[in-house]
Chain A
Amino acid sequence: MKTDIILSGVGGQGILSIAAAIGMAALEDNLFLKQAEVHGMSQRGGAVQSHLRISDTEVASDLIPKGKADLILSVEPMESLRYLPWLNPSGWLVSNTEAFINIDNYPDKEEIYSEIRKIKNHILIDADRIAVEAGSARSSNMAILGAASSLIPISHEKFHSGIRKIFERKGEDMVKLNLMVFDAGRKAASDYLSR
């Protein structure tokens, strides 16, 4: 078993906590893991991505080769398209619909969605709305993770205990909120696929 995931978004959107949650869950499952993060300059509102590789055998390269990613998981719709060269032909693209617009030439949103819909295996959800409805606007990244979670070979419980570990020091309320958003994201994805 091997799953290669590209996480994408804009610096400051919290893709590192998604990576940490998956990483924790993978460790709970005793899987091998390599995760290349982006720190530094581009964290100032630039395009950021993280390569996350989970496997039941040792992982060689820290970077996913082009054409090999099983999943692109994006908290921002335009950013999800930036990494298409990495997606394998049967891979999945899961993205938030909420655009993060900090540049003048941001393309038309509908055109972005239609590019995403061209990909056979895709899921589009409004993670920001899900997070706000659950009462935690800052947790949209957990909604996106929830939406993609059924595509990652880690059990629902292990995801829950991974998320718990990450938010533990911020108190039980934060843990509960994030778990709730995660589950709502998971449901939104299955609704999207059976639409």
Chain B
Amino acid sequence: MQKYLFLGDEAIAQAAIDAGMSGIYAYPGTPSTEITEYVQNSKEAAEKGIHSEWSANEKTAMESALGMSYAGKRSMVCMKHVGLNVAADPFMNAAITGINGGMIVTVADDPSMHSSQNEQDSRYYGKFALIPVLEPSNQQEAYDLVHYGFELSEKFKTPVMLRITTRLSHSRSGVESREKRKQNPLALPVDLSQFILLPSLARERYKILLRSQSDFEAESDSSGNNKYIPGKNRKTGIIACGLAYNYYLENKISNHLDYPLLKINQYPLPRKLIEKIASETDELLILEEGYPLVEESLKGFFNSPYKVKGRLDGSLPRDGELNPNLIAKALGIKEADFPAVPELVSARPPAFCKGCSHSDVYLALNEALAQYGKGRVFSDIGCYTLGALAPYNAINSCVDMGASITMAKGAADAGLLPAVAVIGDSTFTHSGMTGLLDAVLEETSITVIISDNSTTGMTGGQKSSATGRLRQICEGLGVEKDHIRFLNPLRKYHLENIGIINEELLHQGVSVIIAERECIQTAGKRHRNLSGLKQK
């Protein structure tokens, strides 16, 4: 057993290695990225031959993890919350097929949208798919619940979701590891039709999943992951889920609170434990990070005048992440006024790095488009989304990965011409290629700029599946060779670049302009590593 200082993400990764995982599959996404990166950088994982290469997107990752499970081995797939939307099809259906080797779906939610376009709560997906969900409160529990999660998965032959949120992903604390377990041997499913979801077979599989629900619930009551902690003040019963438990504990210690408490780390909700705390107290206060999932369920649970407080009745804000002060307020604790932020402090939003290639792309694009007027640039998700901010104000949309090309297509179909898409290289191979095929097949007049910085920049510079392949991919999808153009986004080629963009804006049909210059962050890192090598 070893002691580590781990981010929540790292604790999950080391636990998976220790629990005998044979492969991790993922596409980067804050705050989940460090899980896979940890496995990629782990010598131990390399020696054990654990798969850890990035996948093209979350859907391919989920399916690969399911395939590894089919072959009898333990697998994990990781993503940020919106990644599960991309992977929702295999996710929902994996609940129906069930698993062979243990499979954990780790999803990192981002309440308050620190680095995301929404704050959806993945526990709903777990409930939707009818599978168990584990939600650790701290780094040690994250470590332990991975071990438990694989056992649970194999015990009930179901995928298990591990749900974390930003503060746990990116908070560091001490973790003690457990005994290591060997990887599973290669072993086919006992029933070779288990994974064939033909309607006749799927109906049977679905009934099996439905029958498992009472087992899942019993497990939630008895596993010990959901803990009832008695208290003398029976005015209010506290139900604290995942991370919210820590914020409650902070207040409990500093204000000597003594309410009965139910700490939730496993779903479906433990019916017996909830009935116990509900019957012993006058009202329930629900503390949960994300949407009011538990609060809503309990209001349905007790079709009675029983009082349930939380995010829905205004005791806590309906949106945004929780913190100790919000919970103090919900508990009726009076706090002194806090000093104000002096007025002169101005906002400091994120911005392009000095010398970023995306900024040169936008400067050229803005000039080329000036004659057509504003409102025709559909962009996508990545560092280049910062083109939305002043002084560029260069883009008009950022919705989900890949939507730039397809929204430009729809707008062009409606008659908005020229219509421009700006997409990053990694986003293009994640979800842009299929949309480009749609446009090619219909010869839609759109101009697609792939701003290729040869990395997955926004999430910290992971390898991009697109690097060195963009020309072949576009040709292969059927874009005319003459309308696959290249430009070098540097100030000194500014006029030339405007010229190229202008020519393609006039083209009737699909144009792709590949603006290729390496991300200055990854270039800088490479140079530092090289000079480090030379010195040695």
A residues with CB within 8 A of B: 10-12, 19, 23-24, 27, 32-47, 59-67, 78-79, 81-82, 84-87, 102-103, 105-108, 111-112, 115, 170-171
Q: Contact: A47 with B173, CB < 8 Å?
A: no
Q: What CA separation (Å) do A106 and B345 show in the bound complex?
A: 8
Q: Contact: B351 with A63, CB < 8 Å?
A: no
Q: What CA separation (Å) do A38 and B169 show in the bound complex?
A: 10
Say if the beta carbon of B517 comes within 8 Å of chain A: no
Chain B 434-461, CB-CB to A under 8 Å as 1, else 0, gives 0000000000000000000000001110
B residues with CB within 8 A of A: 5, 7, 30-31, 33-34, 114-115, 167-168, 170-174, 243, 246-247, 249-250, 252-253, 323-325, 328, 335-336, 338-342, 344-353, 383, 386, 458-460, 532, 535
Q: What CA separation (Å) do A53 and B344 show in the bound complex?
A: 28
Shortest CB–CB separation between residue B316 and chain A, in angstroms?
Answer: 15
Given A34, A38, A43, A171, which contacts B173 in the complex, CB threshold below 8 Å? Answer: A34
Contacts A33-B5, A85-B338 given: A44-B351 contact, CB under 8 Å?
A: yes
Q: Which of A12, A19, A102 has the most CB of B within 10 A?
A: A102
Q: What CA separation (Å) do A10 and B351 show in the bound complex?
A: 11
- Contacts across chains A and B counted by CB atoms under 8 Å: 146
Cβ-closest chain B residue relative to A86? B338
Contacts A36-B167, A61-B250 given: A45-B346 contact, CB under 8 Å?
A: no
Shortest CB–CB separation between residue B2 and chain A, in angstroms?
Answer: 13
Please indicate the chain B residues that have their CB under 8 angstroms from the CB of A102 in the complex: 348, 351
Shortest CB–CB separation between residue B243 and chain A, in angstroms?
Answer: 7
Shortest CB–CB separation between residue B459 and chain A, in angstroms?
Answer: 7
6 additional A-B pairs beyond A33-B173, A36-B167, A85-B341, beta carbons within 8 Å, are A34-B171, A43-B350, A44-B350, A63-B167, A85-B339, A102-B348
Please indicate the chain A residues that have their CB under 8 angstroms from the CB of B34 in the complex: 39
Shortest CB–CB separation between residue A187 and chain B, in angstroms?
Answer: 29
Q: Contact: B172 with A46, CB < 8 Å?
A: no
Q: Contact: A23 with B350, CB < 8 Å?
A: no
Contacts A11-B350, A39-B34 given: A61-B249 contact, CB under 8 Å?
A: yes
Q: What CA separation (Å) do A112 and B346 show in the bound complex?
A: 11
Q: Contact: B170 with A36, CB < 8 Å?
A: yes
Q: Contact: A62 with B243, CB < 8 Å?
A: yes
Q: Contact: A60 with B341, CB < 8 Å?
A: no
Q: Contact: A62 with B168, CB < 8 Å?
A: yes
Q: What CA separation (Å) do A78 and B532 show in the bound complex?
A: 34
Contacts A23-B172, A27-B5 given: A40-B249 contact, CB under 8 Å?
A: no
Shortest CB–CB separation between residue B9 and chain A, in angstroms?
Answer: 9
Q: Contact: B173 with A81, CB < 8 Å?
A: no
Q: Contact: A39 with B31, CB < 8 Å?
A: yes
Q: What CA separation (Å) do A59 and B353 show in the bound complex?
A: 36
Q: Contact: A67 with B170, CB < 8 Å?
A: no
Q: Contact: B352 with A44, CB < 8 Å?
A: yes
Q: Which of B172, B249, B532 has the most CB of A within 10 A?
A: B172
Q: Contact: A66 with B253, CB < 8 Å?
A: no
Cβ-closest chain B residue relative to A46? B350
Q: Contact: A39 with B351, CB < 8 Å?
A: no
Please indicate the chain B residues that have their CB under 8 angstroms from the CB of A111 in the complex: 344
Given B115, B167, B168, B173, which contacts A40 in the complex, CB threshold below 8 Å? Answer: B115
Q: Contact: B344 with A32, CB < 8 Å?
A: no
Q: Contact: B349 with A46, CB < 8 Å?
A: yes
Q: Contact: A81 with B341, CB < 8 Å?
A: yes
Cβ-closest chain B residue relative to A170? B532
Given B167, B350, B383, which contacts A62 in the complex, CB threshold below 8 Å? Answer: B167
Given A11, A46, A63, which contacts B324 in the complex, CB threshold below 8 Å? Answer: A63
